[in-house]
């Protein structure tokens, strides 16, 4: 346990550094020899960031709004599409089911970015570029998420669904009333896994969006960074981009534990 | 509904005996079977429509384009195996990128896979209440954004004497002048590997942690009766066989992730292409030079390599689970 604690601290060290950098005054950032911890924490870097954002093309709040909107929209649709697909793949017997799941398993080995140009052509032909949808739709068929969901669903006993059928529930009701609540753990898991990717999204903004007011926070932050004079500001932006992921993880993780304790079907 | 199904099934079993190869009837049967499951198809449809459009189709298009010359502006021209010939025979940069990628993958893949498993195993031994804290401590690095990575590691491995590592080594008199961490040809990949390892406890690690909590505790007692007493023996005879599905899943993710590595800390391009990976080489051709056919050939070769190793992982880890 001592070993585990030490290793955990080492693992967290760069994050601690990140927090320290964000609160360091300029004279401490460029001190020699460099210091790890902050002596006189200030909010100067935050003020500097707000000055920079005041001069941006589009108000900072617009970038933030965009990112919140696409993150919520994406995660909601992701959970919806994947829970819906995993229920029949796990609990129904229909022709082609095995093949479909094998394709999903196989596609865990796809490299998404390897086929960038064909994907670009498909997306532009569908007219998704320059809309919020381009952030959401192409990433919804996430085979990792479906794979996890389906494995989780396999552990749910079939009897629950048979009982539901006897009570006269339709397939939709079985999905909505029984499968969905039972999949809470798995939902939390895929939200954790996919949150960081969409929250930090900047590549899609560069490739598919030409209207500045539709671009994401991740894109805006990536344009600020760099330059020795802005090291402290870079620390602040890094902090802003990283911490929501960690907070979501903490919240969802406790929810996972909680639902596991109360589920009582295993 | 299930009764109807079973009667359908027996009918199906009898059919080939009565009339060998009655295509029309068999097709009719399949159509009927599919119709009775229309709700199943409706539920999986959104996923698979998007899967085909945004994952499968681009991949198949790449496969087709890898046999063509295409610069996006003109129509693709079929050129047969030319791209592949050039790739393996004439493109010395590809070989460089390939060996760099293998070097990276051979270290990062197994090391992070094994550390993920062991840390998950250790976490499973601590009391349940503090488990989430440890899980967070190890998982958090992989949650950090690319921007955050650059901030932290850029300062750590800064090339001047102000960098943390350099100033520390100077102070301890181990080195006399600052080390060019991200410029020295010999150090670019190792530095990249260190950074990657720090943030490599990702999805696989989480799946291990969850997998261990699913291991039936009664199995430990049963194993104890059979003479399995030490923690290490338990790991070997109970934990590893019980977490086989997670081991396979994480292995697949690890193989794909480490072989499709893009840029390292040193950025791109690097001196003497010491940090060039296959994915960077690919994006040079597709994004910068617009030689999509050639880029596709690179993608196909890399994908085949991943499928090959992935298949081996399925063979080794798949059946026992």
Ordered domains of chain A (ranges, CATH): 57-225+243-263 (1.10.3720.10)
A21 touches chain B (CB under 8 A): yes
Pull the structure tokens for residue B99. Answer: 């060996």
Domain count of the fold of chain B:
2
Burial of B200 (0-12, 13-18, 19+ CB in 10 A): buried
pLDDT, position B22: 63
Same domain, B170 and B289: yes
What is the tens place of the pLDDT at every residue in B167-219? 888 878 777 777 888 778 888 888 888 888 887 887 888 878 877 877 777 88
Strand pairing of B77-78 and B68-69?
A: antiparallel
From the list A8, A33, A84, the residue facing B171 with the nearest CB is: A33
Could you give the CA distance from residue A1 to residue B122 in angstroms, rounded to a whole number? 8
Same domain, B25 and B98: no
The most confident of A186-195, B73-82, B92-101, by mean pLDDT: B92-101
φ, ψ dihedrals at A263, nearest 5°: -65, -50
pLDDT tier, A80 (very low <50, low <70, confident <90, very high otherwise)? very high
pLDDT, position B9: 46
The CATH number that applies at residue B193 is: 1.10.3720.10
Same domain, B126 and B251: yes
Residue B73 lies in a domain: no
Could you give the CA distance from residue B15 to residue A95 in angstroms, rounded to a whole number? 17
Burial of B51 (0-12, 13-18, 19+ CB in 10 A): buried
Is the pLDDT confidence value at B155 over 50? yes
Give the residue on B whose Cα is nearest the Cα of A236: B148
User: Taking the model in full, what pTM does it have?
Assistant: 0.82
From the list A1, A14, A141, the residue facing B141 with the nearest CB is: A14
Structural domain for B130, as ranges: 83-317
pLDDT tier, B319 (very low <50, low <70, confident <90, very high otherwise)? low
Asked if the Cβ–Cβ distance from B286 to A32 is below 8 Å, we say no
Write out chain B residues lying below 8 Å of A196, CB-based: 143, 145
B302 touches chain A (CB under 8 A): yes
Find, among A62, A30, A7, A106, the residue nearest to A220 by Cα. A62
Instruction: Name the 3-class secondary structure at B78.
Output: strand
Pull the structure tokens for residue B69. Answer: 């010359």
| Residue reference for tokens 């907070």 | A247
Is the pLDDT confidence value at A217 over 80? yes
Same domain, B1 and B140: no
Same domain, B271 and B194: yes
Q: ipTM beyond 0.90?
A: no
Residue B97 lies in a domain: yes
pLDDT, position A260: 40
Looking at per-residue confidence, does B9 or A188 come out higher?
A188
| Residue reference for tokens 């490739």 | A207
Residue B42 lies in a domain: no
Distances (CA, A) of A194 to A95, A197, A244, B190, B310: 31, 5, 12, 29, 23
Asked if the Cβ–Cβ distance from A4 to B310 is below 8 Å, we say no
Pull the structure tokens for residue B47. Answer: 């996923």
φ, ψ dihedrals at B216, nearest 5°: -65, 120
What is the tens place of the pLDDT at every residue in B21-78? 566 666 777 778 778 788 888 889 999 999 999 999 999 999 999 999 888 888 888 8
Asked if the Cβ–Cβ distance from B137 to A9 is below 8 Å, we say yes
What is the tens place of the pLDDT at every residue in A16-66? 888 887 888 877 776 666 667 777 777 777 887 777 777 777 788 888 899
Residue B92 lies in a domain: yes
Judge if the upstream peptide bond of residue A232 is cis by omega within 30 degrees of 0.
no
């Amino acid at each position: 346990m001592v070993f585990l604690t030490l290793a955990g601290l080492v693992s967290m060290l760069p994050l601690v550094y990140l927090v320290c950098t964000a609160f360091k005054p300029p004279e401490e950032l460029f001190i020699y020899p460099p210091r790890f911890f902050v002596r006189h924490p200030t909010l100067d870097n935050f003020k500097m960031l707000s000055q920079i954002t005041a001069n941006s093309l589009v108000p900072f709040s617009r970038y933030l709004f965009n990112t919140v909107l696409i993150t919520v929209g994406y995660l909601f649709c992701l959970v919806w599409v994947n829970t819906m697909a995993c229920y029949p793949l796990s609990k129904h017997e229909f022709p082609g089911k095995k093949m479909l799941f094998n394709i999903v398993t196989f596609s865990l080995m796809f490299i998404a970015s390897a086929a960038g140009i064909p994907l670009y052509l498909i997306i532009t032909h569908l007219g998704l570029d320059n809309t919020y949808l381009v952030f959401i739709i192409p990433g919804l068929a996430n085979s990792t998420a479906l794979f996890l969901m389906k494995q989780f669903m396999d552990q749910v006993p079939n009897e629950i669904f048979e009982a539901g059928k006897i009570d006269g529930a339709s397939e939709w009701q079985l999905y909505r009333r029984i499968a969905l609540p039972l999949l809470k753990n798995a939902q939390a898991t895929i939200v954790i896994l996919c949150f960081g990717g969409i929250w930090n999204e900047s590549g899609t903004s560069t490739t598919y969006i030409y209207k500045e007011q539709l671009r994401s926070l991740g894109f805006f932050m990536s344009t600020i960074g760099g330059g020795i004079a802005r090291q402290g500001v870079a620390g602040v932006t890094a902090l802003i981009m990283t911490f929501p992921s960690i907070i979501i993880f903490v919240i969802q993780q406790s929810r996972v534990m909680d639902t596991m304790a109360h589920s009582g079907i295993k | 509904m299930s009764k109807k199904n079973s009667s359908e099934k027996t009918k199906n079993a009898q059919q080939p005996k009565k009339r060998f190869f009655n295509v029309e009837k068999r097709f009719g049967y399949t159509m009927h079977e599919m119709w009775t499951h229309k709700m199943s198809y409706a539920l999986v449809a959104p996923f698979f429509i998007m899967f085909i459009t945004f994952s499968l189709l681009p991949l198949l298009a790449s496969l087709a384009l890898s046999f063509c010359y295409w610069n996006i502006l003109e129509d693709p021209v079929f050129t047969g195996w030319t791209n592949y010939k050039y790739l393996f025979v004439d493109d010395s940069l590809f070989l460089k990128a390939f060996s760099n990628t293998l070097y990276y993958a051979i270290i990062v893949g197994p090391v992070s896979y094994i550390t993920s498993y062991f840390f998950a195993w250790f976490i499973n031994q601590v009391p349940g209440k503090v488990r989430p804290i440890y899980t967070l401590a190890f998982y958090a690095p992989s949650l950090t954004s690319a921007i955050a990575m650059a901030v932290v590691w850029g300062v750590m491995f800064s090339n001047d004497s102000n960098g943390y590592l350099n100033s520390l080594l100077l102070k301890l008199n181990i080195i006399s002048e600052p080390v060019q961490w991200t410029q020295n040809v010999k150090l670019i990949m190792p530095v990249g590997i260190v950074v990657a390892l720090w943030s490599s406890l990702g999805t696989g690690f989480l799946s291990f942690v969850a997998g261990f909590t699913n291991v039936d505790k009664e199995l430990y007692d049963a194993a104890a009766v059979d003479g399995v007493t030490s923690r290490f023996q338990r790991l070997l005879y109970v934990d590893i066989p019980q977490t086989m599905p997670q081991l396979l899943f994480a292995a697949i993710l690890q193989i794909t992730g480490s072989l499709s590595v893009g840029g390292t800390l040193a950025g791109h391009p690097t001196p003497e292409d010491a940090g060039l990976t296959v994915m960077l080489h690919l994006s040079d051709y597709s994004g910068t030079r617009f030689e999509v056919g050639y880029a596709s050939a690179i993608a196909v070769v890399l994908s085949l390599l991943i499928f090959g190793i992935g298949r081996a992982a399925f063979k080794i880890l798949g059946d026992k689970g």
